[in-house]
Amino acid sequence: TEPLVQVKDLSKYFPVTRGALVTRKIGDIKAVDRISFDIYDGETLGLVGESGCGKTTTGRVLLKLIEPSEGQIIYNDQDITLLNKKDMSPLRREMQIIFQDPYASLNPRLTVGEAIGEPLVAHRLASRAEAKERVLELLRVVGLAPFHYNRYPHEFSGGQRQRVGIARSLVMNPKFIVADEPVSALDVSIQAQIINLLQHIQADYALTFLFISHDLGVVRHLSDRVVVMYLGRLAELGNTEQLFAEPKHPYTQALLSAVPSVKKRKTKQRMLLTGDVPTPFNPPQGCRFHTRCPMVMPECKEVEPAWHDTGDGHFVACHLFN
Ligand code: SF4
């Protein structure tokens, strides 16, 4: 399979300034720092890490909802890094996002039907009647009865709103969807329904997904491959089976051992993450994880580990594997 999205040495830094009248830059928050990976056509790539690790920023930079500071984004063999808004516009249709809180992105004054169909009308891709027909079809796809067309967002439950969010992400016939914590705000019983829905639409519309979540169970269920992020850098990437069976990076091991095992195997030692995540403003030298790593060695504090292919497309950034 070919990569649909290629990320090369991508960074997003947010400058930090001090002073009210005369502002002076004192440094950068390195939200995303020189990351590289591919997303293959038709796959779901899971992106995991604790909050503040740069997952959300990564998703938004990939879609160019925020501009990257450095590096490249190649979409469908086209370098989109420097494309302006106008040139991005036709691609924008193919690249969509599903938010954690769809309510925040829905105009409360539009009916849900109008909100879903709005991009079609705004881009003059359909008449109002055609847009309505398309929206009614999508409501059916996401499991909402036609009468919902004329209802307003506040009349919907959390799960229904996320169905609306999914319908809206589909209206422009996308190829690539970034789903940013799409089930995290939902009750567990509803989560399963939405996850099933995402799986169905991926198969039916041959979509490629970047699935961002802090929930390893959900990521494991949905993803073909998983990439683990820590403090703006990538720690590990591998196919889901392999990564969950044999995590290599000490950070991945710690994340996985914090997940309660279904089989309750008591023999497995739980590895606890101690200490807070350091801030991405002036992150630790050397390996970013060294302040919390149980395997830390002297060189970890000085030298940043390389992104190393350990075979079979399994990548890890840790001196234990270099
Ligand atoms: Fe731990 Fe060193 Fe590996 Fe970083 S490079 S994860 S500090 S062993």
- Ligand 1 atom having least distance to the Cα of 290: 7
pLDDT over 70 for what percent of the chain? 95
- Given this model, what pLDDT does residue 166 score? 95
| Identity of the amino acid at 124 | R
Q: Residue 263: pLDDT band by 50, 70, 90 thresholds? A: low
CA of 283 to the centre of ligand 1 (A): 15
Looking at the chain, how many residues does it have? Answer: 322
Q: Does the beta carbon of 271 sit less than 6 angstroms from any atom of ligand 1?
A: no
Provide the number of structural domains found in the chain.
1
- Given this model, what pLDDT does residue 258 score? 74
- CB atoms under 10 Å from CB of 86, counted, come to 7
Record the pTM. Answer: 0.93
CA of 120 to the centre of ligand 1 (A): 49
- Given this model, what pLDDT does residue 23 score? 87
Tens digits of per-residue pLDDT, 211-223? 999 999 999 999 9
Q: Residue 261: pLDDT band by 50, 70, 90 thresholds? A: low
CA of 74 to the centre of ligand 1 (A): 30
- Looking at the DSSP bridge assignments, the partners of residue 179 are 98, 211
Q: Does the beta carbon of 231 sit less than 6 angstroms from any atom of ligand 1?
A: no
CA of 321 to the centre of ligand 1 (A): 9
Q: Are 250 and 223 in contact (CB under 8 A)?
A: no
Task: Examine the pLDDT at 63 and tell me if it is beyond 60.
Answer: yes
How far apart (Å, rounded) are the C-alpha atoms in residues 63 and 97?
A: 8
- Given this model, what pLDDT does residue 278 score? 84
- Distance from chain centroid for Cα 248: 22
- Ligand 1 atom having least distance to the Cα of 251: 6
Average pLDDT rounded to a whole number, residues 129-138: 96
- Given this model, what pLDDT does residue 40 score? 97
Domain with residue 8: its CATH number is 3.40.50.300
- Given this model, what pLDDT does residue 267 score? 44
Task: Examine the pLDDT at 3 and tell me if it is beyond 50.
Answer: yes
CA of 260 to the centre of ligand 1 (A): 24
Task: Examine the pLDDT at 262 and tell me if it is beyond 70.
Answer: no
Q: Which residue's CA is the closest to the ligand 1 atom numbered 5?
A: 318
Q: Residue 260: pLDDT band by 50, 70, 90 thresholds? A: low
Indicate if the alpha-carbon torsion angle 110, 114, 116, 122 is positive or negative. negative
Average pLDDT rounded to a whole number, residues 283-310: 95
Indicate if the alpha-carbon torsion angle 67, 37, 233, 186 is positive or negative. positive
- 270: which residues sit within 8 A by CB, 6+ positions away? 257, 258
76-84 own/partner pairs: CB under 8 Å, 24+ apart: 76/4, 76/175
CA of 287 to the centre of ligand 1 (A): 6
User: Ligand 1: which of 229, 236, 248, 289 to mutate, judged by most atoms within 8 Å of the beta carbon?
Assistant: 289
Task: Examine the pLDDT at 266 and tell me if it is beyond 60.
Answer: no
- 283: which residues sit within 8 A by CB, 6+ positions away? 30, 33, 231, 232
Question: What's the Rg (C-alpha) of the chain?
Answer: 21
**What range defines the domain where residue 22 resides?**
3-321
Tens digits of per-residue pLDDT, 83-121? 998 899 889 999 999 998 877 778 889 999 999 999 999
- Ligand 1 atom having least distance to the Cα of 299: 2
How far apart (Å, rounded) are the C-alpha atoms in residues 246 and 279?
A: 28
Tens digits of per-residue pLDDT, 162-203? 999 999 999 999 999 999 999 998 998 899 999 999 999 999
Q: Residue 270: pLDDT band by 50, 70, 90 thresholds? A: low
